[in-house]
Homo-oligomer: A and B are copies of this chain.
């Protein structure tokens, strides 16, 4: 399965329409079971927490994986209620139009404080949408945090295959 990769800057017009990076479309098409050549794929936009100033976009197959995990929790449990609120209530389907664009509603634009530009960030099985300056700041924060780790205790060290863990 193809993955979302790279960063890409696009204009947002007065109606909130914005082009999805062309490479991302290919990933969305692959991940939409209902997609047929000639039609347009859809995706799901999640705007989790107010504190997080970005949207997260999922392909259909990718959000289904998440939903299936939630469905395994007991119905009516508090954990499940919280997750449904975070993932289902705070989200929406988005149809991609014939020109490869999606519409960010006014509400969504205000949420992430976007005016006339948006930057798309590939994150593997999902992508993020940021206001460009907010993204730059977030990336600086990430780099700062990363540099605080020492050699021994570093996220990269979590990248051990199961094989090498057993050894």
Contacts and interface: CB of A to CB of B under 8 A. Distances in A.
Contact of A159 (B75, B83, B92): B83
Interface residues of A, number: 50
B143 A88 contact: no
A92 B6 contact: yes
Contacts of A71: 124-125
Interface string A136-151: 0001001101100000
A78 to B, nearest CB: 8
Interface of A: 3-7, 23, 44, 49-50, 65-67, 69-71, 73, 75, 78-79, 81-86, 88-93, 121-125, 139, 142-143, 145-146, 155-156, 158-162, 165, 167
